[in-house]
Amino acid sequence: MNEMRHHTSRRKLLGTGAALAAGVAMPAVLRAQEPPKPAELIVRAWGGVWVESLKKGVSDPFTAKTGIRIRHDLTEDNEIKPRIWAAVAQGRTPPIHVNWDTTANATSSALRGVCEDLSDLPNLAKVMPLAKPIGFTGVPIVNLYSYVYVLAYRPEAFPGGAPDSWMVLLEPRFKGRIALYNDGIGFHPVAQVLGGGKISDIPHNMEPCWAFIRKLKEQKPLLGEDPDFTNWFQKGEIDVACTISSNAREAKLKGVNVAWTVPKEGAKVDTDGMWIPKGLPANELYWAKRYIDFALSTEAQQVWLDGLGLPGVAPGLKPPADLVGDPSYPMSEKDFERLILIPPRIQAEHTPEWFARFKEIMQS
Please state, in angstroms and rounded to a whole number, the distance separating the CA atoms of residues 194 and 48: 33
- Separation between Cα atoms, residue 349 and residue 20, nearest integer Å: 30
* Smallest separation, CB 156 to another protein (Å): 14
Q: Which stretch binds another protein (CB under 8 A): 109-117, 194-202, 312-320, 322-330?
A: 109-117
Shortest separation between residue 29's beta carbon and another protein, angstroms: 39
Does residue 207 interact with another protein by CB under 8 A? no
Nearest to 114 by CA among 275, 293, 274: 275
- The strand pair at 267-275 and 222-224 is best described as unpaired
Element (H, E) at 87: helix 77-89
Q: Candidates 27, 155, 236, 315: give the one binding another protein (CB under 8 A).
A: 236
Q: How many CA atoms lie within 13 A of 93 on its CB side?
A: 10
Handedness of CA 55, 115, 142, 188 (dihedral sign): positive
Query: Per CB under 8 A, does 111 bind another protein?
Result: yes
Q: Which is nearer to another protein, 196 or 352 (CB)?
A: 352
Which residue among 64, 79, 172, 325 contacts another protein (CB under 8 A)?
79
Is residue 273 within 8 A of residue 101, CB to CB? The reply is yes
CB 104 within 8 A of CB 270: yes
Measure the CA–CA gap between 248 and 260, rounded to whole angstroms.
7
| Residue among 117 and 237 whose Cβ is closer to another protein | 237
Residues 338-357 that bind another protein (CB under 8 A): 348-353, 355-356
Q: Using CB under 8 A, pick the residue from 38, 133, 195, 221 that binds another protein.
A: 221
For another protein, give the closer residue by CB, 14 or 223. 223
Select the residue interacting with another protein from 101, 183, 270, 293 (CB under 8 A).
183
- Using CB under 8 A as the binding rule, whether residue 315 contacts another protein is answered as no
Q: Could you give the CA distance from residue 112 to residue 106 in angstroms, rounded to a whole number?
A: 10
Give the residue with the Cβ less far from another protein, 215 or 359: 359
Residues β-bridged to residue 268:
340
Total residues at interface with another protein (CB under 8 A): 35
Window contacting another protein (CB under 8 A); options: 48-56, 108-116, 129-137, 144-152: 108-116
Q: In whole angstroms, how large is the CA radius of gyration of the chain? A: 20
Longest dimension (CA), the chain: 67
Least CB distance to another protein at residue 116 (A): 17
Please, what is the minimum distance in Å from the beta carbon of residue 99 to another protein?
14
Q: How far apart are CA 96 and CA 114, in angstroms?
A: 13
Site membership for another protein, residue 137 (CB under 8 A) = no
Q: Smaller CB distance to another protein: residue 220 or 318?
A: 220
103 counts as binding another protein under rule CB under 8 A: no
Residue 8 pairs with which residues in a beta bridge? none
CA gap 262, 229 in Å, rounded: 17
Q: Shortest Cβ distance from residue 352 to another protein (Å)?
A: 4
Residues that bind another protein (CB under 8 A): 76, 78-79, 81-82, 85, 108-109, 111-113, 176, 182-183, 220-224, 235-237, 348-353, 355-356, 359-360, 362-364
